[in-house]
Structures are given as structure tokens and as C-alpha cells.
Amino acid sequence: MRKRSPYAPRVDPEDLEAALLGAPCTLTREEVADAVGIPEQEARALWNAMGFAEVPPGERAFTQLDVESLRHALALRDSGLVGGDTLLVLARSMGQGLARMSEAQVDVFRELAKGLSVEQATQTAADTAADVLPRLESILVHVWRRQFAAATARAFVSATEDGMPVLAVGFVDLVDFTRSTRQWDASTLERLLERFESETALRVTAVGGQVVKTLGDAVLFTTDDPGTAVEVALLTIEAHAADDELPDVRAGVATGPVLLRLGDVFGQPVNIASRLTDEARPRGLLVDARTAEALADDGTYDLKRLRRRSVRGYRSLTPHLLRRTEQA
């Protein structure tokens, strides 16, 4: 990285913003709407849906790239392929997902800025933006296309019930996470969470499943069939049990029709999988009746029906304890 003279002037924050946005902020929100030819309220609705803060009237916070992006969005709507409400849903989904991803990508600059003053860190970000951003952008677009192709394929081949896809939903949860965090320092906590999330995600994606979200001490995922979800859960339990550094996990799997929306998953199988996880013992896997029935004749697993119990949202839930057979 190029060294900078200690006597060089401090980078202007506006220059850094322009470097990161790809263009200087020269337009107000009113000028953006006028340039596109739509009411300002309509432009603001799309801006807000993407998760950005309200911009006061007259403030020059927008670039020519904002104008071009808005034109593309409206052209997509006017083509008839995407309705107005759907466009806002897509904007909200992209805003939420990319906001989280952007926070993670800031780590690139954090690493470069270690030990630097605020002024030096700002200058470093400005100096490296031209090299870093195009590469991140290229990777982002490529990964998005791959993920979009995979999601489309899953949507077309999934079985449906009541108009909704039938999926196996799994939760994997770290045992006694709250108590353990009081014993770990920050670096240990970060390392263990990263291992848990990344290694579990690899198991899910390796079998064609999807990680819906990570919740710090838990991972929510889906697969097309119960057997695959159960294998992900068992492999994670076994990996943690065999590694002295990693805390134990417990898991729950339920199968049924779900609603997919904004990259998230909703429905009774999600709720049941969560409750089963809460009821499971350390290193244990509980499944619902539908999952147990699907795997009953598999021969790979031993299934034990447990007593019915009342849990939050369900007065009568019958878990099934699932383990590998001794021959497996």
C-alpha cells in the first residue's frame, strides 16, 4: 500500500464518500425525482424501502448513479414484469440483505486501519477504494447470479402443498450460549461464533440446502427433504462433540409447507423446529411427526417417540428423538 507523507492534507470526507459511492453527491431528492419524471413521494418510497435514512429537502445527498438506478427500477415496473408493490418488496429485501453484507465488508477497511488515527484511517480508505470496490462489486454480482440461479432451480423443483413449497426446516443451537459468553473474551467469542456459523453453513450448502439466517447462537436452514436436514443436524452435533474448543449444540427439524418471503421462511414447520430445539438436550436432535414418518423405514436412524408436551404456541407437541443406528 502506498505510504503517505505525514504532512499531506487530511482527506475531505466528501471525497471519501464520492470514492465509495462512485460519484459525487450533487443532487437533492427533488432533483432526482424531476430528472426521472416521477413525483418526489414515489421516489422517497423506494428510497425508504431500501432502508436508507430520510434526507432533508434541499440536501445534496444523491448522485447521478441514484438517478440511473431509479430509472432502471421504474423501467422494470413499467415493463409489467414487476408490480409496484412487488418492486417495494424487492427493494426492501435487497436493502436488508446488502446492509448486513456491507457491515461485514467494512472489515476490509478495519484491517487496513488497525493502529491508525481516524484521519489516517479515512485517508487509507480513500486511497484503497479504487482497488477494493471494483473487485468486491464483481464478486458480489457473480455470487448474486449464482444464488439467483440456485434459488430459481429450487423454486421450480420443490413439491408444493396448499400453494407453498414443502421443505424441511432445521435449527441448530449452541447450548448454554449466554452463560458461556460470560467466560469467553471478545476474540474467543468471535472465533467460536465464526467457526459455528461458517462450518454449519458449509454443511448446509454442500447438500444443496439454504442457510436462511444466523442468529448468533443459532442457525436456521432449509433443505428439500427431511433426510438431508437431519444429516446436517447430526453432522453438526457430532463435529461439536468431537471438538473440545466448540460448545455442544442441540437441534430440531420439522417438515411441511412454508412461506418464503424476503429471503426468510415462515410457517408452522419453522415454529415447531424452533420449539423442538428448545426441548432438545445437549447433543440431541428432536424431529416432528412428519419428519419421523418420512424416515421411519430408512434404516439409518433410530426413532423414539417421546411424551407429548405443552410448549409455547402448541398445547400438544409430540417430539421424536432421532439418533443414528449402531450399524450406521
In angstroms, the CA 153 to CA 255 distance is 20
Q: What is the pLDDT of residue 284?
A: 96
What's the rounded mean pLDDT across residues 219-245? 95
What's the rounded mean pLDDT across residues 100-121? 78
Which position has the higher pLDDT, 147 or 5? 147
Amino acid at 84: G
Phi/psi of residue 234, nearest 5 degrees: -65, -40
Contacts of 57 (CB under 8 A, 6+ apart): 28, 29, 30
- Yes or no: say if 94 and 102 are a contact pair by the CB < 8 Å rule: no
Q: How many CB atoms lie within 10 A of CB 42?
A: 14
Q: How many CB atoms lie within 10 A of CB 151?
A: 13
Q: What is the pLDDT of residue 263?
A: 79
What's the rounded mean pLDDT across residues 191-220? 90
List the domain boundaries for the chain: 13-154, 159-324
Whether the predicted model's global pTM rises above the 0.85 cut: no
Instruction: Tell me the three state secondary structure of residue 174.
Output: strand
Q: What is the pLDDT of residue 10?
A: 59
Instruction: Tell me the three state secondary structure of residue 161.
Output: strand
What's the rounded mean pLDDT across residues 207-227? 91
Tens digit of each residue's pLDDT (9 = 90 or more) over 273-328: 999 999 999 999 999 999 999 999 888 999 999 998 888 888 888 999 999 997 55
Q: What is the pLDDT of residue 328?
A: 53
Distance of CA 145 to the CA centre of its chain: 16
Is the confidence at residue 133, as pLDDT, over 60? yes
What's the rounded mean pLDDT across residues 141-148? 88
Q: What is the pLDDT of residue 253?
A: 98
Amino acid at 48: N
How many Cα atoms are found within 13 Å in the side-chain-facing hemisphere of 68? 5
Confidence band for 124, pLDDT divided at 50, 70 and 90: confident
Q: What is the pLDDT of residue 3?
A: 44
* pLDDT over 70 percentage in the chain: 94
**Best-predicted range by mean pLDDT among 27-36, 132-141, 305-314?**
27-36
Is the confidence at residue 7, as pLDDT, over 50? no
Mean pLDDT of the chain: 86
Q: What is the pLDDT of residue 31?
A: 95
What element of type H or E holds 305? Answer: strand 301-305
- Yes or no: say if 204 and 211 are a contact pair by the CB < 8 Å rule: yes
Q: What is the DSSP string of 201-234?
A: HHHHHHTT-EEEEE-SSEEEEEESSHHHHHHHHH
Is the confidence at residue 86, as pLDDT, over 80? yes
Tens digit of each residue's pLDDT (9 = 90 or more) over 11-27: 667 777 888 888 999 99
Tens digit of each residue's pLDDT (9 = 90 or more) over 43-78: 988 988 888 888 899 999 999 999 999 999 999 889
Which position has the higher pLDDT, 16 or 173? 173
> What is the CATH superfamily name and number for domain 159-324?
Nucleotide cyclase, GGDEF domain (3.30.70.1230)
Is the confidence at residue 5, as pLDDT, over 80? no
In angstroms, the CA 37 to CA 51 distance is 22
Is the confidence at residue 9, as pLDDT, over 60? no
Long-range contacts of 99-103 (CB under 8 A, 24+ apart): 99/51, 101/140
Confidence band for 120, pLDDT divided at 50, 70 and 90: confident
